[in-house]
């Protein structure tokens, strides 16, 4: 490349082997007027091709013309796996990502930053109630973001009641009313803004976005079915499946026809009114919590236990705290049928097991099912690519190699909620998606660590945790080999309005011997997610009870309670403090 006085300076490569064989250097010729303004005239040293070009076009350029000088550099192909030539197998793309949620988008953007040519396919099938949404996946549209906004709306309602003892003067707090339409409009406006920003970000990062339903024709061919039923075929070296999941409906009469799920609640065009939540996982309890906080009559139907997979002492306390808020629970109960009445309300017939066994019925304005989710793999035509689902094909989810996230097919990978027995959390999908891209196109050997991932359940009194539950620690290490430190505490801001502190509680689960390595931390109280995040990093670094006790807390905060833990369950001592500073 001829030396010039141009400000254009291609980044030098240390070795010829580092340059991709399809790399092009593009240099914009600057017109003479611009050059005079800069005080420098660009005069490249003529080469045979440049001289020929000059003789044909003339030595003086028009000020309106801006031809490009393209120099093709061909070097020896890299022997690393960071980037393979696209024309090696006549591929159109280095990577096609099926699914435009958090994990898929993170993978796609990271891959492009590492030099890959990437396309993202995303298509949202409407819910049975007709709900649709834009790019961004579950978290942005019908998950974390709208859930947190509605949780915040319910907390603000509680703050109104707390504010009078702090000196805020207004009419009777009981007269304050919430407007559902205003809330849903605000939430949906925010979501649409995120959809737009996400699309612009893909464009700016040179990720090709295709609004089509993706499925396999073979392991290296993905078909995008567009809205007008036309199909577009994409040949690709690698495929990442990031289709996520959708809520399940029970197989009972009237469920699909008349009931909603978390796909619908955040854009429900009418106030939910008296609501039945079927399911006691974190989605069901979170929805029950914010609906009650917004002033609606709420009942939760529980078939077995609350928050399966979480620490059961904490789960029981969450349930009790929600009962204290006025939420009703029907335990060991399952719905049998849902029938729409002439007035539009829903008659639910259900049965209860155990001591109070029998059938009963009740009427609700809204019935929301939160009984679990299923992976969106049914339309992928996985058999065309040779991909087998988990549990010998019995599951709708995908089993992957923990290091590479590869399925049973060499060039097909998976990430996010579609994975079998992996945490269904947005940050997990994002982190894993980036790792896949770095392994494929950056020569990285890093792996995803699914252990000790922190999470928070946004119930009225929030629950944050990281590491092992007490039950899991006992199963892994033996009950005699662990020690549980615990305490009740009193948030300072609860004193003036005299809010209940009955269920403000925390505990650490640790090994009994030595410095007592911490295996898990659990916190029930305000701002639980903010509290647990920092301790999650400490746990990953090998936190011990000795270190925790030697850490000076910030006073007065609820997070400092972890640094003050001194009472063990095995001691039998009362873990209730006398004051906030005791």
Going by DSSP bridges, is the β-strand pair 455-457/463-467 parallel, antiparallel, or unpaired? Answer: antiparallel
Average pLDDT over residues 106-129: 98
Q: Does 372 count as an annotated binding residue?
A: yes
d(C-alpha 505, C-alpha 507), whole Å: 7
77 in a known ligand binding site:
no
- Annotated active-site residue in 178, 258, 522, 555: 555
Higher pLDDT, 80 or 245: 245
Domains of the chain: 16-72 (no CATH), 87-247+374-441 (3.50.50.60), 255-370 (3.50.50.60), 461-571 (3.30.390.30)
Q: What count of other Cβ atoms lies within 10 Å of the Cβ of residue 79?
A: 7
Q: Is 284 annotated as ligand-binding?
A: yes
Question: What is the chain's Cα-based Rg?
Answer: 29
Query: From CA 542, how far away is CA 494, in angstroms rounded?
Result: 33
Q: Check the annotation: does 257 bind a ligand.
A: no
Tell whether 318 is in a known binding site.
no
Among this protein's residues, is 60 annotated catalytic?
A: no
Backbone angles phi, psi at 240, to 5 degrees: -115, 120
pLDDT at 61 over 90: no
The pLDDT value recorded for residue 439 is 98
Calculate mean pLDDT across residues 150-165: 96
Q: Is 281 annotated as a binding residue?
A: yes
| Residue range 453-464, pLDDT digits in tens | 999 999 999 999
Q: In the structure encoding, which two tokens stand for residue 470, read together? A: 């007490």
The answer on whether 214 is annotated among ligand-binding residues is yes
Q: What is the pLDDT of residues 294-346, one digit of tens each?
A: 999 999 999 999 999 999 999 999 999 999 999 999 999 999 999 999 999 99
pLDDT the model gives residue 350: 98
The answer on pLDDT for 3 being more than 50 is no
Helices (H), 396-527: 426-441, 470-477
580: pLDDT confidence band, cut at 50, 70 and 90? low
Q: What is the pLDDT of residues 219-244, one digit of tens each?
A: 999 999 999 999 999 999 999 999 99
Question: What average pLDDT does the chain have?
Answer: 89
Q: How many CA atoms lie within 13 A of 375 on its CB side?
A: 26
Tell me how far apart the alpha carbons of residues 530 and 461 are, in angstroms, rounded to a whole number: 13
* 283 in a known ligand binding site: yes
Q: What is the pLDDT of residue 354?
A: 83
Q: What is the pLDDT of residue 579?
A: 72
The DSSP code sequence of 447-491 is ----SS--EEE-SSS-EEEEE--HHHHHHHH-GGGEEEEEEE---
> What integer is the mean pLDDT of 361-381?
98
Q: Is 282 annotated as a binding residue?
A: yes
Torsion of CA 312, 315, 319, 321, to 10 degrees: 120
Interatomic CA distance for residues 503 and 150, integer angstroms:
22
Residue 512 structure tokens: 């009994």
Of 297, 354, 364, give the one whose Cα is nearest residue 331.
Answer: 354
The predicted pLDDT at position 461 comes to 98
Task: Specify the pLDDT at position 66.
Answer: 47
Q: Cα(300)–Cα(279) distance, rounded to whole angstroms?
A: 7
> Does the annotation flag 386 for ligand binding?
no
Percent of the chain with pLDDT over 90: 81
Q: What are 386-395's pLDDT values in tens digits?
A: 999 999 999 9
Percentage, residues of the chain above pLDDT 70: 84
């Amino acid at each position: 490349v001829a030396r010039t006085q141009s400000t254009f300076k291609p980044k030098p490569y240390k070795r010829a082997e580092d340059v991709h064989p399809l790399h092009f250097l593009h240099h914009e010729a600057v017109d003479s007027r611009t050059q005079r303004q800069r005080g420098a005239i660009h005069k490249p040293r003529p080469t045979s091709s440049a001289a020929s070009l000059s003789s044909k076009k003339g030595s003086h350029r028009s000020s309106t013309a801006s031809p490009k000088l393209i120099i093709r550099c061909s070097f020896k192909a890299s022997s690393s796996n960071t980037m393979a030539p696209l024309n090696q197998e006549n591929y159109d793309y280095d990577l096609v990502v099926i699914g435009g949620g958090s994990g898929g988008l993170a993978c796609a953007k990271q891959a492009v930053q590492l030099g890959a040519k990437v396309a993202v396919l995303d298509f949202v099938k409407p819910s049975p109630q007709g709900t649709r949404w834009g790019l961004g996946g579950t978290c942005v549209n019908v998950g974390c973001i709208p859930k947190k906004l509605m949780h915040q709306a319910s907390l603000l309602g509680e703050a109104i009641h707390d504010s009078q003892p702090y000196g805020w003067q207004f009419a009777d707090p009981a007269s304050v009313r919430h407007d559902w339409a205003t809330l849903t409009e605000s939430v949906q406006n925010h979501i649409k803004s995120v959809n737009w920003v996400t699309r612009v970000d893909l464009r700016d990062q040179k990720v090709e976005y295709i609004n089509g339903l993706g499925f396999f024709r073979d392991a290296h061919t993905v078909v995008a079915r567009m809205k007008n039923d036309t199909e577009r075929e994409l040949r690709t070296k690698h495929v990442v499946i990031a289709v996520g999941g959708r809520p399940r409906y029970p197989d009972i009469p009237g469920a699909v026809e008349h009931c909603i799920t978390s796909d619908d609640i955040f854009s429900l065009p009418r106030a939910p009114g008296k609501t039945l939540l079927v399911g006691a996982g974190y989605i069901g309890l979170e929805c029950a919590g914010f609906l009650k906080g917004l002033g609606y009559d709420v009942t939760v139907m529980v078939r077995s236990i609350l928050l399966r997979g979480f620490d059961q002492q904490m789960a029981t306390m969450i349930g009790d705290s929600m009962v204290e808020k006025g939420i009703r629970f029907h335990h060991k109960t399952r719905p049998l049928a849902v029938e729409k009445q002439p007035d539009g309300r829903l008659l639910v017939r259900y049965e209860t097991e155990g001591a109070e066994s029998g059938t009963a019925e009740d009427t609700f304005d809204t019935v929301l099912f939160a009984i679990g989710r299923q992976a969106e793999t049914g339309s992928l035509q996985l058999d065309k690519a040779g991909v087998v689902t988990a549990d010998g094909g019995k599951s709708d989810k995908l089993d992957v190699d923990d290091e590479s996230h590869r399925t049973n097919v060499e060039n097909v990978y998976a990430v996010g909620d579609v994975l079998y027995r992996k945490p269904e959390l947005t940050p997990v999908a994002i982190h894993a998606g980036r790792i896949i891209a770095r392994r494929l196109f950056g020569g990285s050997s890093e792996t995803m660590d699914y252990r000790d991932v922190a999470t928070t359940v946004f119930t009225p009194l929030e629950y944050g945790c990281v590491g092992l539950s007490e039950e899991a620690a006992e199963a892994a290490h033996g009950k005699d080999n662990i020690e549980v430190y615990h305490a009740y505490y009193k948030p300072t801001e609860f004193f003036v309005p005299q809010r209940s502190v009955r269920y403000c509680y925390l505990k650490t689960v640790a090994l009994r011997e030595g410095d007592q390595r911490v295996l898990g931390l659990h916190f029930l109280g305000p701002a639980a997610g903010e509290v647990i995040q920092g301790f999650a990093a400490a746990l990953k670094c090998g936190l011990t009870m000795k270190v925790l006790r030697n850490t000076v807390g910030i006073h007065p905060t609820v997070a400092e309670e972890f640094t003050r833990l001194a009472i063990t369950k095995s001691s039998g001592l009362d873990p209730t403090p006398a004051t906030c500073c005791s």
